[in-house]
Amino acid sequence: MPKPMCGVFDRRRFPRLGAAVHTFVHCSVISRFLPSICLLAMWMAFPAYAQPDATCMEATELWVPSAVSRQKSVAKWNRPLTFEVFLRNRNSPSLVSVTRELDFVAQHSGLAIGSASETSLDLLISLALDIAASAPKPRELVEKYFTMIIPGGRAKFDSDVFARTVQNTIPKCTGVNLVINGNIERAFIMIQEDQPPDCLTVGFGEIFGLINIRSLYQRKSEHFSPAHVASAFRSLYSDAIKAGMSAQEVKERFGKVCK
């Protein structure tokens, strides 16, 4: 599997994004908590002779949709993807951290993640000193970027909601996905450079389909650990789990996913 290679944004390579690239930021938290009791009930529903692996079941808490999740069905990437990094300081130590986090995702999800080309750009990553201060321009950038592939439509974000989301998000790494029929087709994430390492884990977790990871972090759950997140990626990106599945459909596949 090719490891992610980090790139630096070059305006000339992506002219269609236009002047909106001048300042960066990003948007939207794709996260609500999933009550642990629901997963416990699912786990107990299996007969004793066919109990799924408990550790794997706990990890599914990060991505199984629930009544309180903003995303009501499974969302995941289903193809190789490319990324580009927007940053002001080419020597930023955060650049290394971003590459390391993408390598972690690739390793445990099985996704091929590589640098963008002139004709392929799926994930925009913006590094900023203060994501709230630079919110307006990234909203314009994301709208234009997502609109490019929406069939007959136009992406539009409420400017006030966008600004409040960026201002209030904890930790300060947050993003928005373009999801079509459960498939993540494009994504944008902004990372504030003074944040702890867990910030990247939360931000990229959401972008790659762990829709409940932020609430787990905010609740200081004991299950928020690299091993737990790795298990979540492996279960979400199992062949048995399909984009767009409901929680009930996922429940029916637990025996195949968490053997």
Task: Compute the Cα dihedral for 58, 31, 111, 4 and give only its sign.
Answer: negative
Residue indicated by tokens 């992506």: 14
What is the CATH number that goes with domain 11-30+70-210? 3.30.379
In the prediction, which pLDDT does 223 show? Answer: 65
What integer is the mean pLDDT of 43-47?
Answer: 49
Report the alpha-carbon distance of residue 131 to residue 111 in Å, rounded: 28
Q: How confident is the model at residue 238 (pLDDT cuts 50, 70, 90)?
A: very high
pLDDT(5) > 70: no
Domain boundaries, the chain: 11-30+70-210
In the prediction, which pLDDT does 39 show? Answer: 52
What are 55-74's pLDDT values in tens digits? 899 999 999 998 777 788 99
Q: How confident is the model at residue 137 (pLDDT cuts 50, 70, 90)?
A: confident
What integer is the mean pLDDT of 156-165?
Answer: 83
pLDDT(229) > 90: yes
Q: Name 123's Cβ contacts closer than 8 Å, sequence gap at least 6.
A: 81, 82, 83, 84, 113, 186, 187, 188, 189, 207
> 0.85 cut: is pTM over it?
no
